[in-house]
Chain A
Amino acid sequence: MTETSHRPSGDPAAVPSPSANEPYLVVDELTVRFPTADGLVQAVTDLSYTLEQGKTLGIVGESGSGKSVSSMAIMGLHDYKRTRMSGSIRVGGQEVVGLSSEKMRTIRGGDVAMIFQDPLTSLHPFYSVGSQIAEAYTAHNKASKSQARAKAIEMLDRVGIPQPKSRVDDYPHQFSGGMRQRAMIAMALVNDPKLLIADEPTTALDVTVQAQILDLLQELQRDFNSAIIIITHDLGVVAEMADDVLVMYGGRAVEKGPTREILTHPEMPYTWGLLSSVPDVSADTDARLIPIPGNPPSLLDPPTGCPFHPRCAHRSKVPGDLCRTELPELVTGNRPGHTKRCHLANPDSIYEAEVLPEIAPDLVEVVAEDATPAETGTGLFGPDDEAADGGSVAPENR
């Protein structure tokens, strides 16, 4: 911690790079299973991704897709007695899977910190906000009570809580929703983490506060050069925040690549479904959202072949019964750096012909006129940015 504690703000060059040549976070063939009375829950299967310092990865998927479970594995927050984990997670070169709980504790809240979805239930109702932040500080630093308190005030000020000197003694119920999430962020950042995992950080907040919290996270990322994993089902959040996107379905990565690439040229029908279910605030008020048909797959007994095939409208376009019988590999599609898990041979033309007209009919004409297919994508970029992240409703929240 010592080399990071006096990081000059806004100067990423002063941050030491990870010792090895590999990225700060490497998740390699991570598999997480929970044995239960009903059977083995296959929460995460063969998940691999990497994340560099200063970059943001958005993990998108519905409830039960494994996005939170895989991130909690990085923190070592699963009860090891009730969890079977295999594969590898390396944080700054340190293998985390199978690490003793004592060693894990020094990483947790120190180099890796986490922000949770609902700040009201995630903060302890019986302790003041300041003492909860101070506790996170003293857990990793030798500090007196007054030093820790001063640090808590400093952090509250840093995340934009007005009058931090008096608010430090307030209890969570005396804070507004947005302030509580700021306090959570202050608590997560108190030890200058190199990796911040934000698990749906804006889901419980109203839209204006959402935008403020996302701005705050971006600002703090610039100052501290942390890597951020943002878990969300809100594609607007991803469009604003993430450098890369990982789409998860049924515990597996189904599409992965740079954000702009994924949002403008999605190649996997599940991602199309996610894009279709984002409401367009500029559209006709009578326009209906297009939900993904069916329910998320059972993790106890996942579908054979491609996990998405029972809900996939395009599986008839794949020859034979391939979708049902064979799990597609995560392979590079039509563009480099963009991988997908799908048997469809020509996803681009299907997307342009069938999906795009449904999502954004007005864009199709533009595409037809100036022949730059789908460059404007789904309206998640450009002037519509604010509207999209503000107004979008996640598939599972409807």
Chain B
Amino acid sequence: MFGYILRRLISGVLVLLVVSVAVFALFFYGPADPAIAYCPETRCTPQRLDNIRTSLGLDRPAAEQYGEYMKGIVAGNDFQAGAITIKCPAPCLGVSFKLRVNVTDYLMERFPATLSIAVGGAVLFLLIGVSSGIYAARRRGTLADRAIVGASLVIFAVPYYLFALLAYLLLISQWGIFPESGYFPLFTDGPVAWAKGLLLAWLVIGLTSATQYARFSRGSMIESLNEDYVRTARSKGLSERRVTMRHALRAAVVPVVTIFGLEFATLLAGTVFTERIFDIQGIGLTALNAINTRDLPVISATVLIAAAFIVIANLFVDIIYSVIDPRVRLT
């Protein structure tokens, strides 16, 4: 088990290395020149452009820059920006071109907002999705079942950004049913302000993602309710509740765990639409701004973090599998 996790972590680091090389390559050999973004359009001379490149460190060979970046992650790095030195201890993800701040600190500051959205949204979509899926599976073919499947298809068919935007415009701007959205740190502003600011974002994520989980868990629940071992459980004289929750659900959650792991990792890596529409300063919004300003260190940091979450989530999913299903051995 321990050896397995270690091997998985090592292969995960390799994946992250490949991802970081790919991000660098895209950036250096892609069509966009970051220096132009920092050169005022009207008074941009080639001389000035070169100066900007030198000050950003972009004049050196790409391999050298990549090596320095990697060194920063492992050992930390200090950056000279004119007269001031920006300290960047390990794991140093570089210094933002635009804001001239340590990227690691900058992202850590924004991570709680993203984490808040992800956790609240995930709790809601799991609760709504899985429970309505079980409910529909147990009443397959009835009106309730059809209503759940139909409603989830309708919500699923609406593009997420439209759903979120309409929710914001109607429920907050127009009718004011929900409090104004935004991120208020849990520990400084208190749980009420925190929850109020995120409430609609949670509901939007919860409802839209729940549609997937409802259909998914309904399907796997119907399948497991038809298993021979569920019939055995009934034949023992167990209560219907115990048959459903202990025998059928235990088997039905396995595929749900897979999609949940990946979806939660994606949420942690930043929810661009949600953060943009509900004006929450999280990782997603940061990544979006960094792309607009061609801020390489911030872009590669957000991509690396996203990749790291996916790798870790996959590992967790596999470990959870082995806990749920004794036939799965991690070797």
B237, B238, B240, B250 pick with most chain A CB within 10 angstroms: B237
Task: Please tell me if the beta carbons of B235 and A106 are within 8 angstroms of each other in the complex.
Answer: no
B residues lining the A interface (CB < 8 Å): 227-229, 231-240, 247, 250-251, 324-327
Residue of B nearest to A188 (CB): B235
Residue of A106, A108, A113, A121 touching B227 (CB-CB under 8 A): A121
Q: Mark A81-110, 1 if CB is under 8 A from B, else 0.
A: 000000000000000000001000111111
Known: A125-B325, A125-B326, A126-B325. A108 touches B229 (CB 8 A): no
Task: Please tell me if the beta carbons of B229 and A122 are within 8 angstroms of each other in the complex.
Answer: yes
Q: Provide a sorted-by-A list of 13 A–B residue pairs whose CB atoms are within 8 angstroms.
A: A77-B231, A101-B240, A106-B237, A108-B235, A109-B238, A113-B235, A116-B232, A118-B228, A122-B228, A124-B250, A135-B236, A135-B238, A136-B237
Task: Please tell me if the beta carbons of B237 and A139 are within 8 angstroms of each other in the complex.
Answer: yes
Closest Cβ of chain B to A114, distance in Å, is 5
Residue of A nearest to B239 (CB): A105
Is A173 among interface residues, defined by CB-CB distance under 8 A? yes
Task: Please tell me if the beta carbons of B229 and A139 are within 8 angstroms of each other in the complex.
Answer: no
Write out the residue numbers on chain A whose beta carbons fall within 8 Å of the beta carbon of B232: 116, 122-124, 184, 187
A residues lining the B interface (CB < 8 Å): 75, 77, 101, 105-110, 113-114, 116, 118, 121-128, 135-136, 139-140, 171, 173, 184, 187
Task: Please tell me if the beta carbons of A114 and B239 are within 8 angstroms of each other in the complex.
Answer: no
Task: Please tell me if the beta carbons of A116 and B238 are within 8 angstroms of each other in the complex.
Answer: no
Write out the residue numbers on chain A whose beta carbons fall within 8 Å of the beta carbon of B239: 105
Task: Please tell me if the beta carbons of B235 and A125 are within 8 angstroms of each other in the complex.
Answer: no
Apart from A125-B325, A125-B326, A187-B236, list 10 A-B contacts with CB within 8 A.
A105-B239, A113-B235, A123-B232, A124-B247, A124-B250, A125-B251, A126-B250, A136-B237, A171-B327, A173-B327
Write out the residue numbers on chain B whose beta carbons fall within 8 Å of the beta carbon of A108: 234-237
Residue of A nearest to B142 (CB): A81
Q: What is the CA–CA distance of A108 and B231 in the complex, to the nearest angstrom?
A: 12
Q: What is the CA–CA distance of A30 and B221 in the complex, to the nearest angstrom?
A: 32
Q: What is the CA–CA distance of A362 and B229 in the complex, to the nearest angstrom?
A: 46
Known: A106-B237, A139-B238. A122 touches B231 (CB 8 A): yes
Residue of B nearest to A113 (CB): B235
Q: What is the CA–CA distance of A124 and B227 in the complex, to the nearest angstrom?
A: 9
Task: Please tell me if the beta carbons of A136 and B236 are within 8 angstroms of each other in the complex.
Answer: yes
Residue of A110, A114, A125 touching B229 (CB-CB under 8 A): A125
Closest Cβ of chain A to B86, distance in Å, is 53
Closest Cβ of chain A to B226, distance in Å, is 11
Write out the residue numbers on chain A whose beta carbons fall within 8 Å of the beta carbon of B237: 105-110, 136, 139-140
Closest Cβ of chain A to B141, distance in Å, is 9
Write out the residue numbers on chain A whose beta carbons fall within 8 Å of the beta carbon of B326: 125-126, 128, 171, 173
Q: What is the CA–CA distance of A110 and B237 in the complex, to the nearest angstrom?
A: 7
Q: What is the CA–CA distance of A187 and B236 in the complex, to the nearest angstrom?
A: 8
Q: What is the CA–CA distance of A136 and B243 in the complex, to the nearest angstrom?
A: 12
Task: Please tell me if the beta carbons of A121 and B238 are within 8 angstroms of each other in the complex.
Answer: no
Write out the residue numbers on chain B whose beta carbons fall within 8 Å of the beta carbon of A136: 236-237
- A-B residue pairs, 9 tightest by C-beta: A109-B237, A109-B236, A121-B228, A136-B236, A124-B229, A108-B237, A122-B228, A171-B326, A105-B237
Residue of A nearest to B327 (CB): A173
Residue of B nearest to A170 (CB): B326
Write out the residue numbers on chain B whose beta carbons fall within 8 Å of the beta carbon of A114: 235
Write out the residue numbers on chain B whose beta carbons fall within 8 Å of the beta carbon of A184: 232
B234, B238, B239 pick with most chain A CB within 10 angstroms: B234
Task: Please tell me if the beta carbons of B235 and A75 are within 8 angstroms of each other in the complex.
Answer: yes
Known: A136-B236, A139-B236. A116 touches B325 (CB 8 A): no
A107, A109, A173 pick with most chain B CB within 10 angstroms: A109
Write out the residue numbers on chain A whose beta carbons fall within 8 Å of the beta carbon of B325: 125-126
Task: Please tell me if the beta carbons of A116 and B231 are within 8 angstroms of each other in the complex.
Answer: yes
Q: What is the CA–CA distance of A377 and B120 in the complex, to the nearest angstrom?
A: 75
Q: What is the CA–CA distance of A135 and B232 in the complex, to the nearest angstrom?
A: 11
Closest Cβ of chain A to B65, distance in Å, is 51
Write out the residue numbers on chain B whose beta carbons fall within 8 Å of the beta carbon of A139: 236-238
Task: Please tell me if the beta carbons of A125 and B327 are within 8 angstroms of each other in the complex.
Answer: yes
Residue of B nearest to A110 (CB): B237
Closest Cβ of chain B to A65, distance in Å, is 20
